[in-house]
Structure 1
């Protein structure tokens, strides 16, 4: 589960993203327990409070839930919630910018779709 930390991104966000990635990939399933804050802290050599911040973010989003005295677990429907959230972010961060840049370059919708289709299946 350990991923390299990116100095350009907040560590607690990276912890949350890594848990989400594990859920999306199927490495973590609904009702499965995730690492504790202390396990994350030891794994990455970080403060447990930093790890807790990432985990608590996912609790607030309904991705994880706490079983008192036992630990944190993946919530039912977590994968769908993560995918929906990431699709929204993808549109906001990438597609909107892509469309604006295409307009500046006078790339038509049809040309843009042709470009996208040419990349489907890893052709380029």
Structure 2
């Protein structure tokens, strides 16, 4: 778990994304117990309702499951579900916008690909 929240996004979404990130980064694996609502409330010093609004959709989507009286656990196949979901969101949030802007500016597909390669190459320095 990490510290302060970004002011540009609702906190409950950030709570959800942090749990998702822990699953994607293998910090939480299938069958592992996820932090409880109470632990998240105490760690982040935020309202119970805010935490529940972040966690409950993960339960609804089958990413986490609850064992009454014990806690929440990472469901089987959770990581794969999250990867699929995040890839779809990536295309919608980034690729679609990139393609539309490139079309407006007359940037070709090859120029886009070359730009991506250049940016990736800078990251390796």
TM-score bin (small chain): over 0.9
Within the alignment, does 1:28 sit opposite 2:28 as a pair?
A: yes
Within the alignment, does 1:52 sit opposite 2:52 as a pair?
A: yes
Give the equivalent residue in structure 1 for 2:2.
2
Give the equivalent residue in structure 2 for 1:110.
110
Q: Quick one: distance in 1 between partners of 2:83 and 2:64?
A: 15
Q: CA deviation at 1:8?
A: 1.6
Stretch deviating more after TM superposition (14-23 or 45-54) = 45-54
Q: Which runs of 4+ in 1 moved over 2 A?
A: none
Q: Quick one: distance in 1 between partners of 2:82 and 2:35?
A: 18
- The one-character-per-residue Cα deviations of 1:56-86 (angstroms, maximum 9, x if unpaired) are 0101111100111101000001111111111
TM-score, normalised relative to structure 1: 0.94
Give the equivalent residue in structure 2 for 1:92.
92
Gaps of 5+ in 1: none
Matched position secondary structure for 1:34: coil
Q: Quick one: distance in 2 between partners of 1:61 and 1:20?
A: 12
Q: Quick one: distance in 2 between partners of 1:17 and 1:62?
A: 15
Matched position secondary structure for 2:72: strand
Q: CA deviation at 1:112?
A: 1.1
Q: CA deviation at 1:4?
A: 2.0
Q: Quick one: distance in 2 between partners of 1:3 and 1:77?
A: 28
Q: CA deviation at 1:48?
A: 1.2
